[in-house]
Structure 1
């Protein structure tokens, strides 16, 4: 089961794929909104309000809602390319002839993606069941990571009690480090991630407590996504 979305089936589509073509002015507004949302979410994270996105884009809030009736739809449009890169990173890691290098390189790459974009750091530790395309890409990345785990264990370099849920916990922890250090110590995450990667390496230094159950971890990710501010209100929904 995919702890990041047990319901992901590897398929996904967006409502836009069935939508009629937009007029040129509407297309420009949509592009401005997406560009503004990318900048706002990267700077302020997903708790940024829809009103702040509208201001950044120079459009009225009604125009924003005509294009994106919910914040979830806007998030899906903004981060589709980043989630594609996230999924593609597993494909690239699997081409590394050294299983440990592929495994650790993937972790470092994903954590670097988090560091580069606060909004994306949030996306990786949340789940958006209504955004099917995003969740399909998350499932693709998850399945690729399972292969990386298997290869690293078979090579004897990854401790046997490591599970895919440990990556979710690492990404949650790294998001916290990034939020806490911000511009004051922007590279602090690199030391944190290096320490954690060393703890993953075989031989194990000692036993670990059991990881959280898949359902519990998924519930935590849902709770995080539900904590994103409601569209246009600035209040947590």
Structure 2
């Protein structure tokens, strides 16, 4: 779905090598992505790395495009769900979102709105649009508190994703945190 111009075959290969090297580097050394080490692992010069990814943020965004596309598709399908199916579809979408939280890079890109390239920016925009539709419909149907804004819900989901990323060894966390998050989004008896 990329809108960038077609790359030569060696450029395509170098880009793939850089993305794979960045994944390997992040797995070996969690924390800030070391671009010099990424270029070394990929067997290319730093100039090649910067031609493909002018910033660290651009490389991080490229690492998450496939996961972001999947999340967008799930939330867009939820936004289109019939009223009767919206609440269970919403739960499945939030669970999917929290499961992607196991990837710290993805969580960082989504929570910061890191739109380092037009493709990532467009995907984040589509995600936010779908989420806003679901939150609005959830409020109309009574399973999301009317006092919550779209921004509140987005920040809560991102926070739960971050919590999952911080404890990736606990496999049931996405399920448990989804239950807690959705219970907290419900209207209270004070509303």
Fold shared by both chains (TM-score > 0.5) = yes
Q: TM-score, normalised by structure 2?
A: 0.80
Q: Partners of 1:187 and 1:42 in 2: how far apart?
A: 22
Residue segments in structure 1 that go unaligned for 5+ positions in a row: 1-12, 208-237
Q: Aligned match of 1:155 in 136, 141, 158?
A: 141
Work out whether residues 93 and 106 of structure 1, in 8 Å CA contact, stay in contact via their aligned partners in 2: yes
Which structure 2 residues correspond to residues 21-36 of structure 1 after superposition, within 5 A? 21-22=7-8, 24-36=9-21
CA distance in 1, matches of 2:38, 2:172: 28
- Residue of 28, 34, 37 corresponding to 2:22: 37
**Residue 69 of structure 1: aligned partner:** 54
Please identify which structure carries the higher helix content: 2
Task: With the length of structure 1 as denominator, give the TM-score of the two structures.
Answer: 0.67
Alignment RMSD, CA only?
Answer: 2.7
Superposed CA offset, 1:163-210 (max 9, x none): 211232223322442343233x343343233212111123x1447xxx
Deviations 1:4-54 (A, max 9, x none): xxxxxxxxx86xx246x42x3333222111222244446766722212322
Aligned residue number for residue 137 of structure 1? 123
- Unaligned segments of structure 2, at least 5 residues: none
After superposition, give the CA deviation of every residue in 1:38-90 in whole Å (9 maximum; x if it has no partner): 44446766722212322443434343234323223323333222222222111
Distance 1:43 1:187 in 2: 25
Q: Name the counterpart of 1:107.
A: 94
- Residue by residue over 1:105-141, the C-alpha shift from the partner in whole angstroms, topping out at 9 and shown as x without a partner, is 22111111122x2211111111235422211211111
Identify if the C-alpha distance between structure 1 residues 114 and 40 changes in structure 2 by more than 3 Å, giving closer, same or farther.
farther
Contact 1:104 1:197 in 2 (8 A): yes
Please name the residue that 1:166 is paired with: 152
Asked if 2 retains the 8 angstrom alpha-carbon contact of 1:95 and 1:102, the reply is: no
CA distances 1:211-232 after superposition (whole Å, capped 9, x unpaired): xxxxxxxxxxxxxxxxxxxxxx
- In 2, the alpha carbon distance for the partners of 1:43 and 1:178 equals 20
> How many residues were matched structurally?
188
CA distance in 1, matches of 2:189, 2:147: 11
**Residues 113-124 of structure 1 aligned to structure 2 (within 5 Å):** 113-115=100-102, 117-124=103-110
CA distance in 1 between counterparts of 2:154 and 2:27 reads: 20
Higher relative CO (CA 8 A, sep ≥ 6), structure 1 or 2? 1
